[in-house]
Amino acid sequence: MLLITRKIPPAVAARAAREHMVRQLEIQGVFDSAVLLENLEGVDAILCTPADRFDAALIGKLPQQVRVIATFSVGLEHIDLAAAAAQGVEVCNTPDVLSTATAELALTLMLMAARRAGEGERLLRAGKWAGLSPTFFLGRRVSGKTLGIFGMGRIGRELAGMARGLGMTVHYRNRSRLAPELELGAVYHGDDASFLGAIDFLSINAPGGAETYHWLNAARIGMLKPGAVVVNTGRGSAVDDEALIGALRSGHVLAAGLDVYNNEPHVHPGYLELENAVLLPHIGSATVETRDAMGFLALDGIKRVLGIDGDQ
């Protein structure tokens, strides 16, 4: 029996029903582990989402027959992997298939932030547009500028390709330098100061977790050139909100485009007051094509762990 925690795309639900007996929960908003625990009878596989927190306490309460947790995400920080391993539960995620969609959204945010697209739309809808003038609503050009990618994994490399198409120069900061065929001419930086000092746009594409927690803090923001633009489609935990909000207020950071936040779905109220913050509700991978592909990949993982053969 496959337990699915939240509503999933129809094509994925149809395939899940062909391959398993399905128990479909329709959790909305905040995850309630009690609801999950009440529904585990006969369940050997769970399909969850990044909004469902599987901490050690919950994993410890899973019945022995649960053999796999597949998550509708590449990110795994909502699952205590050590606790799952100790309990003999395999964890599967959905890498690769969301790279293009997430990179597209990073690009969208970069352009929106630089060209003041959110602010302009709000002004027009409020009936405040008085007409063209040479000094009206000036943003910043993206083409010809330098993009710095923090976290040059699959998503970061997709974004690099898109940015090159716009005539941007790409620099990156990563745990280690990439091979030339992956780097494709992007400039590697071995330390934060040289990286942050070299770029006009910063895109955070690193995973969450302890290693990147509040990486973009006041000290590192201070290393950015005045007027830099910050985009985050990785994890909200990589940003110290107070520091970024302060820099957006002072203008040291010209604008920010954010899709991910600390404490989602709660967004720091400081951002909400800022015209120079473009705020999207964690939709990096939210395309029909990508969400289907993610669901199919998660189902592949479940089939592998449960030893189900072939297409059903």
Active site residues: 235, 264, 282
Please name the residues in contact with 232: beta carbons below 8 A apart, sequence gap of 6 or more. 203, 204, 216, 238, 239, 256, 257, 258, 259, 260
Closest by CA to 293, choosing from 46, 56, 100, 114, is 100
Residue 222: its H or E element: helix 218-223
Segment contacting ligand DGY by CB under 6 A, of 53-61, 73-81, 189-197, 237-245: 73-81
Instruction: Report yes or no: 25 and 5 within 8 Å, Cβ to Cβ.
Output: yes
User: Based on the number of CB atoms within 10 Å of its own CB, is 22 exposed (0-12), middle (13-18) or buried (19 or more)?
Assistant: middle
User: Which of 5, 73 has the CB closer to ligand DGY?
Assistant: 73
Segment contacting ligand DGY by CB under 6 A, of 70-78, 109-117, 165-173, 193-201: 70-78
Position 162, amino acid: M
User: Which of 276, 285 has the CB closer to ligand DGY?
Assistant: 285
Compute the least distance from the CB of residue 311 to ligand DGY, in Å: 25
User: Which of 174, 237 has the CB closer to ligand DGY?
Assistant: 237
Segment contacting ligand DGY by CB under 6 A, of 2-10, 25-33, 72-80, 142-150: 72-80
Q: Does 285 bind ligand DGY (CB under 6 A)?
A: yes
Residue 121: its H or E element: helix 117-125
Site for ligand DGY in 98-157 (CB under 6 A): 98
Q: Does 208 bind ligand DGY (CB under 6 A)?
A: no
Nearest 5°: the CA angle 154, 151, 242 is 135
Binds ligand DGY by CB under 6 A, chosen from 36, 74, 196, 230? 74
Q: Does 75 bind ligand DGY (CB under 6 A)?
A: yes
Binds ligand DGY by CB under 6 A, chosen from 31, 69, 73, 156? 73
Q: Does 205 bind ligand DGY (CB under 6 A)?
A: no
User: Which of 148, 234 has the CB closer to ligand DGY?
Assistant: 234
Residue count, binding to ligand DGY (CB under 6 A) = 7
User: Which of 50, 118 has the CB closer to ligand DGY?
Assistant: 50
Please name the residues in contact with 7: beta carbons below 8 A apart, sequence gap of 6 or more. 24, 26
Site for ligand DGY in 2-61 (CB under 6 A): 50
Q: Does 174 bind ligand DGY (CB under 6 A)?
A: no
Q: Does 295 bind ligand DGY (CB under 6 A)?
A: no
Please name the residues in contact with 59: beta carbons below 8 A apart, sequence gap of 6 or more. 79, 80, 83, 84, 87, 89
CA distances from 47 to 37, 131, 184, 294 (A): 14, 51, 37, 11
Residue 254 CA, chain-centre distance (Å), reads 22
Q: Rounded CA gap, 4 and 17, in Å? A: 11
Contacting residues toward ligand DGY, per CB under 6 A: 50, 73-75, 98, 284-285
